[in-house]
Structure 1
Amino acid sequence: MSWCDIGVNFTDPRLSFEAVFERALAADVSHIIITGTNLAKSHKAIQLAQQYPCHLSTTIGVHPHDASQFTQQTVYDLKALAKSPQVVAMGECGLDFNRNFSTPEQQLFAFEEQLKLASELGLPVFLHERDAFEAQVDLLTKYRTHLKGGVVHCFTGNREQMHRYLDLDLFIGITGWGCDLKRGLDLREALKTLPLNRILLETDAPYLRPKSLANNRKVDQGNNEPAYLPYIAEQVAELMEIDTETLKEACQTNAQKLFEFSKQRAAHE
């Protein structure tokens, strides 16, 4: 059994796809979900995933930063993209009231439309949230009974917030933020009470490179990579007081349950 990285931004030009993918496989990270953050990047993510259908899947969606571009035509375009067997989730979608590159009103509209679409298509949601916790939970609560499920991507909150997401029967995506002894204190505490059947691991590469990871700039140019997922897993397993093999097995089981990779593979047999 190998690792699954549920969140990699392979459409980011900072990542050299072939080299990074090869290093991921060498590190026993055999399945990667590419994050779609707008229509163009979602389309590109599908094209990348089609090259290695047994190893790559993708999400499709519109990030809150791009919510100002969301129209009714976007809904039709996402529906068309969702026909690809590589697509396993709707997102990255959600709310970000920290930077407000799109207005809160635009973000709320785009998020709700994607929740409706995910419900209609039977796709789980891949969620982003920053400084918008209450508004995000309110909308998720409204649609949760219609949704197949979802994962709180790159969770960096505290124990109380985590358990409110768990009460909505969502998975929690953990990144290298948990390796940060300064900024990650709340997350490190929350991990101690995270149920094993609700955890998923991700790098969010090329972002959130673990600060405790040794410098390897000649290879990675200072970027995060899916090859570093086992390093993150070691830190998480220590905080959860379990061994890494137990964590690996749980994460693979959880990823299969939420994203149903077996259906994707069956479509290519």
Structure 2
Amino acid sequence: MFDIGLNLTSPQFAKDRDEVVARAFSAGVKGLLLTGTNLEESQHAQQLAQSIDRCWSTAGVHPHDSSHWTDESTELLYALANTPEVVAIGECGLDFNRNFSTPAEQERAFTAQLALAAELGMPVFMHCRDAHEHFLALLEPWLDKLPGAVLHCFTGSRQEAMDCLDRGLYLGITGWVCDERRGLELRELLPVIPADRLLVETDAPYLLPRDMRPKPASRRNEPAYLGHILERIAHWRGEELAWLDAQTDDNVRRLFGVTF
């Protein structure tokens, strides 16, 4: 198992970060991709990945932080992207749900990061919420210039999934699918995702799977729970767990070019 989305720089992990990583590896997780969500967090994620075995990171600016994008942002991300630990540009994309940055600011930062990824020949790690049509319109001109792209923490509709798959995107599935209140639509469309386009992630410390038994004492999600998410996905897809485990690992290697 490989967790493609882990916010290890979160303050929620500040007191026991080493123990969190150790528990993940003890639980069978083979590798971790640490998410960079702004320039400071991207630098921190790269430093953590440099210091922890079997960890890599992304470098990017989340749509929430797009208002802070400047020409210097490209230069800083370029420098980070040229370190061996950074294997993707992002988390980048659009989020029109909260609009912490204006749509125009988000579109500018997203396009700049797509251009950077294309220049460097790197995959992109993306976010989209309530912005599907705008997201695809900005992304599509770059797809033939990128080696790969994943829409992380996918929670959209069947049609949105098909739109992304038709364009060659990978989809990252989290513990959202384990939520009996809001994850049922995602659960039902799991079988339409080709196995060679599926990636798994926790997005920890967020999105603790609600169906874990016994229920964890803390509401904080951890990468050690990735196995539960993968087992549930395999069950709902009607596939053997070990086979899907191996397939998703292969997908990680193909998209991010990592060895683990």
TM-score, L = length of structure 1: 0.94
Looking at structure 1, the residues matched to 169 and 161 of structure 2 have their Cα atoms a distance apart, in angstroms, of 9
Give the whole-Å Cα distance in 1 for the aligned partners of 2:238 and 2:166. 23
Matched, 1:235 2:232: yes
Secondary structure of 1:84's counterpart equals coil
Residue aligning to 1:6? 4
**Deviation digits for residues 39-96 of structure 1 (CA, Å, limit 9, x no counterpart):** 100000011001124x100000000000000011100110011111000100000000
CA distance, structure 1, for counterparts of residue 208 and residue 157 of structure 2: 20
CA–CA distance in structure 1, aligned partners of residues 209 and 113 of structure 2: 31
Aligned residue number for residue 31 of structure 1: 31
- Report the 3-state secondary structure (helix = DSSP H, G, I; strand = E; otherwise coil) of the residue aligned with 1:59: strand
Q: CA deviation at 1:215?
A: 2.3
Structure 1 equivalent of residue 221 of structure 2: 224
What corresponds to 2:124 in structure 1? 125
Size of the aligned set, in residue pairs, is: 257
Give the aligned residue type for 1:42: S
> What aligned pairs does 1:1-269 form with structure 2 within 5 A after superposition?
3-15=1-13, 16-53=16-53, 55-213=54-212, 214-217=214-217, 221-262=218-259
Question: Partners of 2:162 and 2:87 in 1: how far apart?
Answer: 25
Which amino acid counterpart does residue 48 of structure 1 have in structure 2?
Answer: L
Range with bigger deviation, 145-154 or 207-216:
207-216
Equivalent-residue separation in structure 1 for 2:142 and 2:189 (angstroms): 25
Structure 1 residue 192: Cα displacement: 1.6
**CA positional deviation for 1:196:** 0.5
| 8 Å CA contact retained: 1:158, 1:189 | no
User: CA RMSD for the aligned pairs?
Assistant: 1.0
CA distance in 2, matches of 1:148, 1:234: 29
**What is the CA–CA distance in structure 2 between the aligned matches of 1:85 and 1:56, rounded to whole Å?**
11
Please give the secondary structure, in 1, of the residue aligned with 2:196: helix
1:189 deviates by 1.4
The unaligned stretches of length 5 or more in structure 1 are none
Q: Over residues 74-129 of structure 1, what are the superposed CA-to-partner deviations in whole Å (9 max), with x where a residue is unaligned?
A: 00110011111000100000000000000000000000000000000111000101
- Separation in 2, partners of 1:186, 1:144: 27
**Cα distance in 1 for residues equivalent to 2:216 and 2:65:** 32
Letter matched to residue 18 of structure 1: D
CA distance in 1, matches of 2:191, 2:156: 13
Gaps of 5+ in 2: none
**1:131 & 1:158 partners in 2: Cα distance?**
11
Cα deviation, residue 30, structure 1: 1.7
Alpha-carbon distance between aligned partners in 1 of 2:70 and 2:78, rounded to the nearest angstrom:
13
Deviation at 1:216, TM superposition (A): 2.1
TM-score w.r.t. structure 2 length?
Answer: 0.97
